[in-house]
Amino acid sequence: MTTGHAENRIYAKGFVRQTRNDAIRVATLTQEMRGAAPDALDWTSKGATTPVKDQGQCGSCWAFSATQGVESGVFMTTGQLPDLSTQQIISCDDKEVDGGGCDGGDLPGAFAYVQSAGGMDSAADYPDTSHSSGSTGSCKWSGKTVAQVSDWKYAVTPCAQSEQADGGDCASQDEDGLKAALNEFGPLSVCINANSWDYYSGGVLTGQCSGAWSSLDHCVQLVGYDTTASTPYWKVKNSWGSHWGENGYIRLPMGENACGIADEAAYVVATLVGPTPSPSPVPSPSPVPAPMPSPSPVPTPPAPGPTPPSPTPGPVPHDCEDETIEDEATCKSYLDLSSGKSCSWCYLSGLGFGYCVEPDDTQGCNGMRGAVTV
């Protein structure tokens, strides 16, 4: 443990275990979950945790740890990270019989309060004042909620008081399961033994740090781990300000339940509470336009009459003796250019041959067949 830059001060803690008769509910961790846990994990790099805060000289660690659990629970459900009011739990949770507020409390009590109150307000609407005053203060919560808790459970089986009564030191806690739960459910609220943390300033914590049930005195947030480091470690977010430790964090050695890291670890299921949307106004019906007057009927044009027959073309002036004229009909359709009379057709029966001649020019048409003059 490095101590060179730690402040010479004794920090407030505040874990006071309350007497409870409720059934202990623990998450079910399957072999698949255990196998899915990566070699290293850091939720602070994934946006799942709010910045390090400072509880000051108020024994409110339990309220800070619980609030951080709700914030991260919202992130795991929605992907959004709210900054919630620690002061609401500190000043308004009056069910912590042994302590309460700056006199201490525990996680089950804080979660039970948030559920019974219907949710938590934001830090902006109800800011923390106990860190500077060192006193609990009266409840000034307006009743506004921005986040709600639907459930919470222990991540692994907590160390039982009976084990301590039998002389045990909680040395058999399920750190492998803790790793799987951290990966599956997100950052965990944990209560630990911080008796030796006051002068910590960096590195993986060394020396003895008991994880015994009776030694727990502080609540924080477990945010990551690294099994590949030269000394595998758990990464823990504290509430003693960013000037303490490694910018507000501490690393604890894995595999030995250091400081009781796996004694009392819990996760929260939470979500945001949005304002109830106003009902959408029913649109007024659009006015129905007046009917347009019917247009005057367009008169139907009369049906066209029968198409008159094309006139038969009359004779065309042409040279009657044109040798290209080869038949009688074509010959008779021409008019002689000089007289204007129809040409005549001369047929030589003996030769079976005919030709076109000028009108009345039948001279030499021996055996003429029907020379016609018009």
Catalytic residues: 61, 218, 238
Amino acid 142 reads S
Question: Euclidean distance between the first and final Cα of the chain, in Å?
Answer: 143
Helix axes 61-78, 107-117, angle to 10 degrees: 60
What is the distance between the alpha carbons of residues 111 and 129, in angstroms, rounded to a whole number? 21
Q: Are 228 and 217 in contact (CB under 8 A)?
A: no
